[in-house]
Structure 1
Amino acid sequence: MQFLLNNIGNISTWEDGKTYTGKQIDENSSIVAKKLKEMNISSGDKVLIYHGNSAHFFSDLFGVWKSGACAVCLNSNLTENELINIISFMSPSLLLYKNDMQISHDLDIPFLDTTKLKQNNNSDNVSAWDTNIDSDALILFTSGTTGIPKGVVHTFRSLLSRITLNQSYIPLEAMKKTLCLLPTHFGHGLIGNCLTPLLAGCDLVIAPGHNLTVTHQLNKIIDDFNISFMSSVPALWKKVLRNVDQPEKDTLKRVHIGSAPLSSDLWENVIQWSNSKTVVNMYGITETANWIAAASSDKYTPCDGLVGDMWGGSAAILNKDKEISTVGEGELLIQSPSLLKEYFKLPNKTKEIFINGWYRTGDIGRIDEKGIIYLTGREKYEINRSGIKVYPEDIDLLLERHGEIREACAFAIPDDIEGETIGVAISFINDSEQNLSDIQNWCYERLSREKVPVEWFIEEEIPKTDRGKLNRDRVAKHCLGN
């Protein structure tokens, strides 16, 4: 498996202005691997990495892999209770952290700050990986840090498949200087935005996308680092397009947008801002090791729900009669070499997501006669209003076309008469007082009556996850709790 790390690119970090060569990262990872082997950590062990978005993180990640162990990438903003919950559930062998972090000595696990390890003449001899291609390589959590954690397990085979496929679809020249604004405990950020270019020998620039200074200086960052490729989420672009001028240089060749529905209007606006012909709406989930399908603006005219062609593997539809077809409408099914192995310690949940060898995505959409994929919404967020099925994503996309609305998030509200009715959180572009009845009337002109929200919640900023995504359950709880 060592060939995976044969051509590591350089990493620059925006916060401290430092650059670390691929050779330095590789050497540091060997130091980490040697220490882990001294601690008897090998294949089958789980090692928590409790920091991210730095060259140090990648040295730790690659060091864990060289030792043969499985890396579990955590959000460094987890509370102590969340961390204890994960440790209790996983029984990991070790926790790696950064020297500026406060780690409780009450944690029932050894922990190590690898920045304190010193170069050893024997460290560069760590080359024979104590693992095989079907060993567990990576676990990413998608939910449950306060309850039962849902950890997606990927093997070296699934990761290698995804990264290789990504590299075959993205020109090497486009990835030459890549910007990552996404967290590295997130499949989109780690696998797609970082490992895909970095392991092709391309240079990576890391900046914290949640930092408002970064968002407001995105044009300058692109110009200063000669960025050619970046990927992010729709929420970031809504902020950028509102406040940030275009880059002065013409270095940005390719932009990916994913992890949430992308409206055609926002898509068109990003094309104009970036001055790139290749702005791509990406579809992917943690269970497929990030990107699995794509629609590029140099091939398709932007439209709502379009996610285009598969990037390796096959797609099908499970229709309302529970029949599997390559054409039609229903739940999207996927077959791919980059599929997860399992949900960690959740065999019943793992069993539920497969049907006749196909992975059930939980996304509702259609595949046309040409094999082009369109998404409508998530099955679990479907609103049943007096027997009429309503997808909240449709409401979001429409409201965000209103000239005064910056962002919208619709959700179901239990109702004694209709079963469920519709609530929506909205934030306005300007802070001035808005006429809500005018916006409601605007909706009635464009939506059937049963799709128009009943309860409206005006928010200065709609709550998001640490990945910059809207979570309907969280937004609903926030609004209804208020």
Structure 2
Amino acid sequence: MLRSRMTDRLAQLDGKISANSIVLLGHGGTPEFVADLLAIWSSGAAAACINPALTENEIDTLKRFVKPAAAILHADQDAQIFQTNRQSTDAVTLDSPALLLFTSGTTGNPKGVTHSFRSLSARIALNQAYMGSEVLQKTLCPLPTHFGHGLIGNILTPLFAGGDVLLLSDRSPVSLSRLGVLIDENAISFLSSVPTFWKMVQKLSLPPKNETLKRVHVGSAPLSIDLWDAITKWSGTTEVFNMYGITETANWIGGTSLQEGRLLDGRIGSLWGGNAMIKQEDGNIQNTGTGEILIQCPSIMSGYYNQPDLTREVLKDGWFYTGDIGTIEEDGEIRLTGRSKSEINRAGMKILPEEIDLLLERHIEVVEVCVFGLPDAISGEKVAVACVLKDGSTLTRNDLIDWMKNLIRPEAIPETWFFIDEIPKTDRGKINRDNVRNVCLKGTD
């Protein structure tokens, strides 16, 4: 079926678009998506994978920005050709663009991460080398396919290793309540998702019984030790890895399991095929220490599409400036503590909200939190938190403040508390602190 679909789609594109052009791919999560992606690559074009939930206005914004040669917005429709018979004198090479993934800006200035065939091939090969082909025989993909974690990690890596992939298109609570059964029925050996996915699974689904899972990855957001341990017990394997990777590095570039070392929140071990350095607060770049993490590896993006200034800000002298704050130990072990962009500056004291997130979620009656900064006339910024409590909990703001006093420095204890029913998530299952802040403030209007 996959080969037949790919052949039909390639016939629609072949001879109608030029090599090195871009095709907008606007559907996902199905075998048809995979076939269309492979057809686009076979035609010598790059695929710009976009969120199927985008509005017409957002899609129009991307079209104006990317100027695609064609678009495949629905699985059951023919490709729309915009630039008929354009001829290119440039040959398709390993360094030609292969994939555009948009991390922000579908209503304003799009931020499109561009990966070449070379960077994708390098990342997939390294994933396979570090994971092993046996683990990848039966993969469950529970993530959307328009960003790197779902597409590169959960689909392309196992497919190009000769494995099978089961796409979980229904991620509703009813569907997740059957996750353990689904794993057993399909003898799933590997899956990767985000922490919020696993928080829901812990509530909704009984664990699998047949012990077919050989490896589990968790990434795209900070992972607490408590949740890490809970996933390990639920999945029936000790091979549960906290993974580090961002869109600009084409998926995972490192990870570690609880069995491999010290029990620390944010611990990701060493890199998979690359080097890391630390840019300290004084601007010095060192092999060890604490500060912004810099990465050098073969799967770094070519740049942000049509945004050279933005690209120069993060790609310098062969290094990618991640914006992630962390520590590199003498033995090369890496631990993430937060994002520089989310830092809260409280009267000159820098506070990483991720650190407080992980601490509060250790409380037995706290389900989930999101810490963010709010403007303050005296200190510049103050620490605020959105908090979801377990059903029936009677905890108050003061109860939680008292609990934190012996666990973290005073300036990091939130001053403003919002108790809400649910932390809003992006389509990737991630938490956007700006969105959460806006939801909380709107609720106080």
TM normalised by structure 1 equals: 0.88
Contact map agreement 1:142 1:151 (CA 8 A) in 2: yes
| Secondary structure in structure 2 of the residue aligned to 1:261 | coil
Question: What residue is the counterpart of 2:80 in the other structure?
Answer: 110
Shift of 1:444: 2.1
Kept after mapping to 2: 8 A contact 1:268/1:302: no
The aligned amino acid for 2:438 is K
Matches within 5 A, 1:70-149: 70-98=46-74, 110=80, 131-149=92-110
Query: Cα offset for 1:406?
Result: 0.5
Instruction: Report whether the alignment pairs 1:35 with 2:12.
Output: yes
Deviation track 1:17-37 (CA, whole Å, cap 9, x = no partner) reads xxxxxxx31332122122201
Alignment of 1:138-217 (within 5 A): 138-208=99-169, 210-217=171-178
Instruction: State the shift of 1:337 in Å.
Output: 0.8
Aligned residue identity for 1:42 = S
Contact residue 365 and residue 374 of structure 1 kept, 8 A: yes
- Unaligned segments of structure 2, at least 5 residues: 83-89
State the Cα distance separating 1:433 from its structure 2 match.
Answer: 4.3
Retained in 1: the 8 A contact 2:225–2:265? yes
> RMSD of the TM alignment (CA)?
1.8
Contact kept, 8 Å, 2:292 with 2:322, in 1: the verdict is yes
Q: Deviations over 1:93-115 (max 9, x none)?
A: 111132579x9xxxxx9369xxx
Counterpart check, 1:292 vs 2:262: no
Distance 2:234 2:263 in 1: 15
| Secondary structure of residue in 1 paired with 2:294 | strand
Higher mean Cα deviation, 62-71 or 301-310? 301-310
Code of the residue aligned with 2:387 in structure 1: it is I
The one of 184, 198, 219 equivalent to 1:258 is 219
- Give 2:382's aligned residue: 421
Q: Does 1:55 align with 2:34?
A: no
Deviation at 1:209, TM superposition (A): 5.9
Q: Does 1:46 align with 2:22?
A: yes
The answer to whether the 8 Å contact 2:216/2:240 transfers is yes
1:165-202 per-residue CA deviation (whole Å, 9 max, x = no partner) reads 00000121111100000110010000011100011110
**2-structure distance, mates of 1:319, 1:447:** 23
Matching residue's letter, 2:331: K
Q: Which runs of 4+ in 1 moved over 6 A?
A: none
In structure 2, C-alpha distance between the alignment counterparts of 1:159 and 1:207, rounded to whole Å: 23
Deviation per residue, 1:322-367 (Å, 9 max, x gap): 1221111110000011000010111100000023321100001111
Of all paired residues, the percent bearing the same amino acid is 48
Amino acid at match of 2:409: S
Contact 1:176/1:202 (8 A) holds in 2: yes
Per-residue deviation, 1:158: 0.3
Aligned pairs (5 A) from 1:18-33: 24-33=1-10
1:448 is aligned to 2:424: no
Note the 1:355-366 alignment, pairs <5 A: 355-366=316-327
Rounded Cα–Cα distance in structure 2 between residues aligned with 1:196 and 1:393: 29
Name the structure 2 match of 1:395: 356
Equivalent AA in structure 1 for residue 80 of structure 2: P
Q: Is the 8 A contact 1:96 1:111 kept in 2?
A: no
The corresponding residue for 2:86 is none
Aligned equivalents of 2:266 and 2:41: distance in 1? 37
Structure 1 residues 49-72: Cα deviation after superposition (integer angstroms, max 9, x where no partner): 110011000000000000000001
For residues 46 and 135 of structure 1, the distance between their equivalents in structure 2, rounded to whole angstroms, comes to 11
Q: What stretches of structure 1 of length at least 5 have no aligned partner?
A: 1-23, 104-108, 113-128
Q: Which residue of structure 2 lines up, in the alignment, with residue 12 of structure 1?
A: none
